[in-house]
Amino acid sequence: MTIAESPLSALPRDLHSLLTEYRQTILPTAQAYLGSKVSANQLRGQWKPYYFGSFHSYAITVERAWREATGTDGSLESGAPWADPVYEVPLKHFPVCVAHNNLDRLVEVLAAELGEQTADKAEIQERTGDLAQTVEALDSLMESLAEQPATP
């Protein structure tokens, strides 16, 4: 495997692609949901293809990059996290994966609670606020990582 084929070098490219799709599909749909223009099921309908498509591919690349950098098999290991600079790239991308997974759970909860209803019908408005904050923070996180130069 050459450095150009390495999962570590693929992460910035993959993140640019993921951020572009996120901004083209998820942000407008989330804004429409927050403005009570689409239902929770419609939000979920846009989220799932992105989550199980582009994001899933990115998450696999993050996992492969971590395994390449650490030589691990993916099992849980005891002890403190490694702080070696060689692990910097995959460690920077783990929060993107965690935020996507948390957002997926939130979208599922909203769809289960509201179905074809819109955000203005939610009994627990905190979830609507959580969605707004998470969508915005995830966009900012991905943008900040996409702007960083690649480190081989």
Each residue's pLDDT tens digit, 43-84: 999 999 999 999 999 999 888 888 887 777 766 666 655 666
Kindly state whether residue 49 falls inside one of the protein's structural domains. yes
The dihedral formed by the CA atoms of 105, 106, 110 and 113, expressed in degrees to the nearest 10? 60
Tokens in use for 116? Answer: 């074809």
DSSP 24: I
Domain count of the fold of the chain: 1
Domain containing residue 15: CATH number: 1.20.1420
Domain range for residue 68?
3-72+84-145
Kindly state whether residue 120 falls inside one of the protein's structural domains. yes
Kindly state whether residue 79 falls inside one of the protein's structural domains. no
Kindly state whether residue 89 falls inside one of the protein's structural domains. yes
> CA torsion sign, 118 to 119 to 121 to 122?
positive
Helix ranges (DSSP H) in 5-125: 7-21, 27-34, 40-50, 56-70, 88-114
pTM: 0.85
Is 3 a residue whose pLDDT tops 50? no
Kindly state whether residue 117 falls inside one of the protein's structural domains. yes
Kindly state whether residue 108 falls inside one of the protein's structural domains. yes
